Amino acid sequence: MEKATFGAGCFWGVEAAFQKIKGVQFTTVGYMGGSLKNPTYEDVCTNTTGHAEVVHIIYDEKIISYEQLLDTFWNIHNPTQLNRQGPDRGTQYRSVIFYHNDVQKKVAENSKKKHQTSGRYKKKIVTEIIKAQTFYPAEEYHQKYLEKHGNSGCML
């Protein structure tokens, strides 16, 4: 099993999109990329922790590749919006790929270049590609949120 971590706006919708993919074994929403240890949702919403809302994915690379996961990542949000997705604003909603090894870094960089030059986006892609840091799982009520509550209050 391999792991992947992506931030693409509200983590509820991001998780729901990746849960549906064959080969994705587990998803967990949480926070990564900031300086505060053990942040809460309320902490992250202050826009002062540096953390992004992310989905942490465990996947079977024999069934789905990292590049295929990246294709989903690009398709579920607008990577040209800085620190926001739809009505959600703040650094916690930024577009970010947290890579877990050098191979993922290279694949992510190539994927970003491919999408930037595809003609799909008129603006520059602002997605950050950063080495994975400590992942802090979000509170239980955020896990599988849309599966439990339906699509209320989320863009996807």
Across the range 116-145, mean pLDDT stands at 95
The amino acid present at 142, given as its one-letter code, is H
pLDDT confidence band for 156 (50 / 70 / 90): very low
The question of whether 154 is a catalytic residue gets the answer no
Contacts of 138 (CB under 8 A, 6+ apart): 11, 28, 29, 30, 31, 41, 53
The torsion angles phi and psi of 18, rounded to 5 degrees, stand at -75, -30
Which residue reads 């802090």 in tokens?
136
Name which of 48, 24, 54 is nearest 36 in CA terms. Answer: 48
Name which of 10, 6, 7 is nearest 87 in CA terms. Answer: 10
Among 4, 10, 16, 132, the active-site one is 10
Number of C-beta neighbours around residue 130 at 10 A: 17
pLDDT of residue 154: 54
| Tens-digit pLDDT profile for residues 80-117 | 999 999 889 999 999 999 999 999 999 999 999 999 99
Domains and CATH numbers, the chain: 2-147 (3.30.1060.10)
Ranges assigned E (strand) in 24-150 = 24-32, 52-59, 84-85, 88-89, 95-99, 128-131, 136-137
pLDDT beyond 80 at 151:
no
pLDDT of residue 86: 84
| Tens-digit pLDDT profile for residues 29-82 | 999 999 999 999 999 999 999 999 999 999 999 999 999 999 999 999 999 999
